[in-house]
Amino acid sequence: MDRLDWNDKTNMFEIHDYKVTGSLMTQEEADSDWQLGLYHIALKEKWPDIKAVKLVWHSLLYNTEFTSSRTSVQLEDLQKNVIEEIKKIEECTDFPPHKSALCDWCSYQLICPLWKHPKAMEVLPINEYKNDTGVQLVTKYAILDNDKKGLQEKIVSIEAEQHKIEEAAFEFAEKNGVYVIDGPETQLKIDIKKESRPPMKNEDPESWQALRDILIKEKKYEEVSTINSNMFKYRVRAWPRDLVEKIKRYIRNEITKSIRLIKK
């Protein structure tokens, strides 16, 4: 406990806690905080006759105070919750480590799974270090990882070159009026389609919402469940002309192109 005061004016104990964290707590967090609630329980254990206790948090970096209090029912619930957590901890057999800034002050690094091997390697002579099985595994893995990165860069370069060829293939197909371009062992299958689609929520939220509202009003929204391109394939053709006219302004006409390499 950072500080305990007796306030003569209010005839009340005050439990003060000083915080130096970089984030400012909220009133909701203060009202549900376990730490000062447990300090309150400790006070009642020592002085059972005390009634009200004021809990005060001082955020030093923000020069701000938060105050709260606990009822008898809240203290009983807190005590039950803490006991349940204690039981869980006592019954636990698996304690996975979690690396944090506090590791620098830990005296158990030599047996910790996160630090055990690195700490053991720090004291080895260079020859023994290089011959260690773990060190060799890491070295081989790092080499393969670098090789993989090099291949990924090569793949990006190849895909960029393919994209140029695709654009040229689209131009060739349109110019010559063909959908299949022949090659020695394979062919390029060209698909160029003119499609209508609704606006996407993330690209034009206003139009998306307006279209949605119209469909809901006309009791057609349930037919499509969600506004997407599939609804035009299966529903729009069967809708009344006046409804189609209403939504026409929100529909986008696009040309989609795709290309596939197929075997002869």
For residue range 153-189, list pLDDT tens digits in order. 999 999 999 999 999 999 999 999 999 999 999 999 9
Q: Could you tell me the CA-to-CA distances from 237 to 199, 227, 228, 241, 243 in Å, in that order?
A: 18, 15, 15, 9, 11
Please report the pLDDT score of residue 45 as a whole number. 93
Report, as an integer, the average pLDDT of 112-117: 96
Q: Which residues have C-beta within 8 Å of that of residue 44, sequence separation ≥ 6?
A: 50, 75
pLDDT tier, 201 (very low <50, low <70, confident <90, very high otherwise): confident
Q: Could you tell me the CA-to-CA distances from 140 to 45, 117, 143 in Å, in that order?
A: 60, 17, 5
pLDDT tier, 229 (very low <50, low <70, confident <90, very high otherwise): low
pLDDT at 233 over 60: yes
Angle between helices 34-46 and 72-91 (to 10 degrees): 110
Please, what is the average pLDDT of the chain?
89
Please report the pLDDT score of residue 114 as a whole number. 95
**Of residues 262 and 22, which shows the higher confidence score?**
262
The per-residue pLDDT for range 32-48, each reduced to its tens digit, is: 999 999 999 999 999 99
**Alpha-carbon torsion, ordered 169, 174, 178, 184, to 10 deg:** -20
The number of CA neighbours under 13 Å toward the Cβ of 54 is: 19
Q: Which residue has the tokens 């090659």?
A: 183
Cα–Cα dist 70/56, whole Å:
12
